[in-house]
Chains A and B, each alone.
Chain A
Amino acid sequence: MKSLVLVLAFASLATGAHAQDARLARLPADARNAVGEVIDSARVAGLPHEPLVQKALEGLSKGADGARIVGAVQRLADRLRMARATLGDGASETELVSAAAALYAGVEPDAIRRLTRPSPGASLALRLVVLADLIYLGVAHDTAAARINDLVTAGVRDEDYVTLRDRVRDDVRGGAEPGPATTLRVRALLTRSGG
């Protein structure tokens, strides 16, 4: 019985090391192998690998060549790794992906770390997503991180983060400056919530 377990465990490791997602079969052979190695490496490190598969499929659908796809997948894996280092081993897959997106938006790891303190009623992933969204709307990194930090300190709920993002987006579409609009909207939220 013990030998059977060992054989199964070995077989599992062996297939795990070379297992390739069938969805990647459309990639050129070289790129498929390279992407497979990145994904295997992420899997061994306990990082979410589905985003890596999706990044490869995205490149494929958008007509990118193999080298480009491998580079994009590798960079995403690096960001996920950095997200893990920033958030710690207890971070969920969604939190890691959101943190990786925030890093891609240019947020410094320290700024992300400051947002990780517990805040009842608000998820870390959503805070990070809204932070990245504000930056993409044109808000300066420091300003966006500081204002989200204000909301974390005040303990506002998930829907307040979404409201902030939507309001600022509407303001910017209406011609407002992103930074001042964010500051005003955060101030309004804090006033309403008594913070």
Chain B
Amino acid sequence: MARSLAACAFAALMCLPPALTAQTLRPSVSLGSGLVPVDPAASGGALLLAPRLDLVTRSIAFRAEGRFAWTALTAAGADVAVSAVIPGLHTGRFRFSGDVAGHATRFALGGAHGRALATGRAEFWSGDASAFAMLAAGGASNGPSSGALLRAGAGARSRRGRATFELAITSTRYAAGLALGAESTVIDTTFVNRQRRLLEGAAFEYTQADVRFGWRGPDWRLAIEAGGRLDDALHSRGAWAQAHAQKRIAAGIDVLASGGWAPSLPELRLESRPIASISLRFAPAREAASARPATNDDAVTHVLSLRGNTRRILIPHTGAHRVEIMADFTDWKAVGLRNNGDGWWTVELNIAPGHYNMNVRFDGGPWRVPAGLAPIRDDFDGWTGAIFIE
């Protein structure tokens, strides 16, 4: 199981905020190498390969991905490196998220060497608040955390403008989280996270806190994460930090880099240790397969149905620092959109089916007709865009 950490650095890169999810089929593959924790007694370089296929429709998001690492092991303390290309790690995960009976639902099945886990989660939204319940079952067959795992929990989320507050309680953990999104900047922090883990069958507890800052530009992303443990008798290093960067270097090609210190996991006998990796990610079909035009000159406003009456509005624009809409469904109050980082701005709102009028403005400028909507006179010497939501 410890080997699963070999993919941590790479996984962190893959966990950068996902790109815009429109109705699209998007395959991609990442190829890279780096210095990663591999084994409780060793660290070494690894060759990493991560193919991924995203399929997003109006109501479901499906992702199939694999992560494969071929590790050149170096025994700790040995003068001579013993290198071999071995299939050191295979992890797989199936994840489905979408609407079931009008409510957001997510299922995940995962497995790594000696470990399997199935989780289910259902979330019920009402306006800007939601409640969710989750159940996880699985087990590990090797390592000090061997044994069956059964975890149940519940929680709630509430959105207020750009802030999302979350409380979650499970049988092994309780946590409070806060996320703030402001255009191209995201702050995501878990300020209380009390966990109970098992070590050789004995329970121990600790408190963990972490914070994540993210910035996005038209063709780049940067994320910095930091965290630490408190009240942990097993802990030998209290803090950890990592930085992840992604930059588009050509159409369909991104370079990903990651570095820092991985969190220690004393229950797995893993100390905090440095990580570093650099990868190339290829997504050649992104533009070709997308339901959206590739450039803003051709792009039009989209509304995607998510769960129930929750809709994601997508406005195309590059170069703006602030994008706002106002419409029949916002009581004609300005609502800010979040920069998705790829020329699209998004916001999720609760909108019943119907016929609406909408305007958009960029950087506080005049109210305009959103791209692609039929422009109609608004009775007030201006124009508005008509949109029909099914």
Contacts and interface: CB of A to CB of B under 8 A. Distances in A.
- Whether chains A and B associate is yes
Interface string B365-390: 00100001011101110101010101
Contacts of A64: 379-380
Given A54-B332, A97-B354, A59 B379 contact: yes
B23 to A, nearest CB: 12
Nearest to B300: A169
B328 interface: yes
A92 to B, nearest CB: 10
Contacts of B382: 62
Contacts of B374: 132-133, 136-137
A64 B377 CA distance: 14
Contacts of A61: 326, 332-334
A74 B372 CA distance: 29
Contacts of A185: none
Interface in B334-390: 334, 353-355, 357, 367, 372, 374-376, 378-380, 382, 384, 386, 388, 390
B386 A133 contact: yes
Interface string B55-99: 000000000000000000000000000000000000000000000
Determine chain A's interface SS by DSSP, over half rule.
Answer: helix
A100 to B, nearest CB: 9
B379 A68 contact: yes
A72 B380 contact: yes
A107 interface: no
A169 B372 contact: yes
A63 B374 CA distance: 23
B354 A94 contact: yes
Most buried by A among B331, B334, B388: B388
A68 B380 contact: yes
Interface residues of A, number: 37
Contacts of A75: 379
B388 A129 contact: yes
Interface string A131-145: 011001100000000
A126 B355 CA distance: 9
Interface in A115-133: 123, 125-126, 129, 132-133
B388 A54 contact: no
B200 interface: no
Determine chain B's interface SS by DSSP, over half rule.
Answer: loop
A10 interface: no
A129 B386 contact: yes
Given A101-B355, A136-B374, A126 B380 contact: no
B332 A57 contact: yes
A45 B146 CA distance: 70
A96 B60 CA distance: 31
Nearest to A72: B379
Interface in A32-71: 51, 54-55, 57-64, 68, 71
B383 to A, nearest CB: 10
A59 B380 contact: yes
A106 B332 CA distance: 25
Contacts of A114: none
Contacts of B390: 123, 126, 158
Contacts of B331: 23, 54, 57
A101 B331 CA distance: 19
A105 B376 contact: yes
A18 interface: no
Contact of A94 (B332, B333, B353, B384): B353
A179 to B, nearest CB: 16
Given A75-B379, A132-B386, A51 B328 contact: yes
Contacts of A170: 298
Most buried by A among B326, B334, B355, B380: B355
Most buried by B among A71, A76, A94: A94
B370 to A, nearest CB: 13
A13 to B, nearest CB: 27
A101 B386 contact: yes
Nearest to A100: B355
A125 B388 contact: yes
B38 to A, nearest CB: 51
A169 B374 CA distance: 9
A158 B378 CA distance: 27
Contact of B378 (A23, A58, A97, A136): A58
Interface string B235-271: 0000000000000000000000000000000000000
Given A59-B380, A129-B386, 11 more contacts: A58-B384, A60-B332, A61-B334, A64-B379, A93-B354, A101-B355, A132-B374, A133-B386, A136-B376, A137-B374, A170-B298
6 contacts: A58-B378, A58-B380, A94-B353, A97-B354, A129-B388, A132-B386
Interface of A: 23, 51, 54-55, 57-64, 68, 71-72, 75-76, 93-94, 97-98, 101, 104-105, 123, 125-126, 129, 132-133, 136-137, 158, 166, 169-170, 173
